[in-house]
Amino acid sequence: MLNLDLHSHSIFSDGTLTPESLVARAAQRGVAVLALTDHDHTGGLPAARAAAAARGIRLIDGVEISVTWHGQTIHILGLAIDAGDTALQTGLAATRGGRIERARKMAAAFDALGIAGSFEGAQQFADNPQLIGRTHFARFLMQQGAVKDIKTAFKRFLGGGQPCYVPHQWTSLSDAVNWINGSGGVAVIAHPGRYPLDTAQMRALLAEFRELGGAAIEVVSSSHKPHQPATFAAQAREFGLAASAGSDFHSPQEGYHDLGGLPALPHGCAPVWRDWEAAQCEVLNVKC
Ligand code: AMP
Ligand code: MN
Ligand code: MN
Ligand code: MN
């Protein structure tokens, strides 16, 4: 069994490592198959691919698309996408298009609370200005000493219902799945345990996602509590979906789960990565 990690971020979205450093860290930690899945952007993939080739690890070209489904933000991973696909790139550009205006509104909310300069402050942390997001504001708040950690920044200011949360209309579930599938990739519901959906709503999401051509759900995620993988494994089986696993790593600091080292999928899951693992086993000349 190889070490696989199919969800990670670089400075092309809200991670703090360059694609090269991210791949180097993954290799050091024994990851054999890594997906780089920046939010709404694929700019880190060429550098990550070169670094992965140099270290003998397999890179899966990925992206994490922001979706609004019945007023709720849902993240859909695209794995093994073709980042050169025109429809995918046009769609990603449209999805991230509203981020700067949204950041301005967030900054106005911080101004109203007497926290000045947050737009420029967040910008300093956003290497990719198109991808400015809440994590960059959280880093600014930490730098200012307004909060002790990223988690508290979301809890007090940036999370849903908090004073600096600005509702945003992302793309639709069907568009995200179609862009991913149209580029030859597979669509995966990221960290299903993070959404404030009741059981009926989650089942509706899974049914609709499957109907639209979605392939898998992230059964193992650093966002999940210990009992959740078993629940999502059962739902994956019920809805005919495969299973994925990812650390959702963003930074060596800030308390994120590190790359690799994820628990195994619960028994009875169909891993979304079967072909990728087999190909890497062949390269490494190991049995699996
Ligand atoms: P955005 O796309 O700008 O809305 O930012 C979403 C990102 O914020 C996610 O990808 C996470 O990296 C981060 N995030 C969301 N909620 C939390 C939380 N409660 N604690 C820490 N980070 C969070
Ligand atoms: Mn993020
Ligand atoms: Mn996410
Ligand atoms: Mn993520």
Ligand at shortest distance from the CA of 5: 4
Q: Looking at residues 226-250, what average pLDDT do you find?
A: 98
The number of the ligand 1 atom at minimal distance from the alpha carbon of 64 is: 10
Look at ligand 1, atom 9, and give the residue with the nearest C-alpha: 135
pLDDT at 259 over 90: yes
- Where residue 57 falls (left for φ over 0; alpha for ψ -120 to 50; beta otherwise) is beta
- Tell how far the Cα of 203 is from the centroid of ligand 2, in angstroms: 25
Q: Is the CB of 58 inside a 6 Å radius of any atom of ligand 1? A: no
For 164-208, the pLDDT digits (tens) are: 999 999 999 999 999 999 999 999 999 999 999 999 999 999 999
Query: Tens of pLDDT along 150-164?
Result: 999 999 999 999 999
Q: What percent of the chain clears pLDDT 70, i.e. is strictly above it? A: 100
Q: What's the rounded Cα separation, in Å, for the pair 33 and 37?
A: 13
Q: Is the pLDDT of residue 1 over 90?
A: no
Residue nearest to atom 6 of ligand 1 (CA): 134
Tokens found for residue 256:
């994120």
Main-chain dihedrals φ then ψ at residue 88, nearest 5 degrees: -60, -50
In 3D, which of 110, 93, 109, 98 has the Cα closest to residue 41? 93
Burial environment of residue 79 by CB neighbours within 10 A (0 to 12, 13 to 18, 19 or more):
buried
**Which residue has the CA at smallest separation from atom 21 of ligand 1?**
151
The residue whose CA has the least distance to atom 20 of ligand 1 is: 151
Q: 181 alpha carbon to ligand 1 midpoint, in Å?
A: 25
What average pLDDT score do residues 109-132 get?
98
Q: Considering only CA atoms, which residue is closest to atom 5 of ligand 1?
A: 134
Q: Is the pLDDT at 59 greater than 90, yes or no?
A: yes
66 lines ligand 1 (CB under 6 A): yes
Q: What is the mean pLDDT of the chain?
A: 97
Q: What angle do CA 149, 154, 158 make, to 5 degrees?
A: 135
Is residue 95 pLDDT above 90, yes or no? yes
Q: Which two tokens stand for residue 66?
A: 């922001």
**Mean pLDDT within 79-94:** 98
Residue nearest to atom 13 of ligand 1 (CA): 135
Regarding the beta carbon of 154 and ligand 1, being less than 6 Å apart is answered yes
Interior angle at CA 116, CA 111 and CA 122, nearest 5: 105
Cβ of 250 closer than 6 Å to ligand 1, yes or no, is: yes
CA of 36 from ligand 4 middle (Å) equals: 9
Is the C-beta atom of 9 inside 6 A of ligand 1?
Answer: no
Smallest Cα–Cα separation from 9: which of 271, 259, 264?
259
Using alpha carbons, select from 199, 254, 198, 176 the residue that is nearest to residue 222. 254
Residue 92 near residue 41 (C-beta atoms within 8 A):
yes
Per-residue pLDDT of 220-237, as tens digits, reads 999 999 999 999 999 999
Per-residue pLDDT band for 288 (boundaries 50, 70, 90) equals confident
Is the CB of residue 14 below 6 angstroms from any atom belonging to ligand 1?
yes
Q: Are strands 72-79 and 186-189 parallel, antiparallel or unpaired?
A: antiparallel
Sorted by where each starts, the structural domains of the chain and their CATH numbers stand as: 4-88+172-284 (3.20.20.140), 99-158 (1.10.150.650)
Q: Which residues contact residue 47 at a Cβ distance below 8 angstroms, ignoring those fewer than 6 apart?
A: 18, 19, 20
Is the CB of 133 inside a 6 Å radius of any atom of ligand 1?
Answer: yes
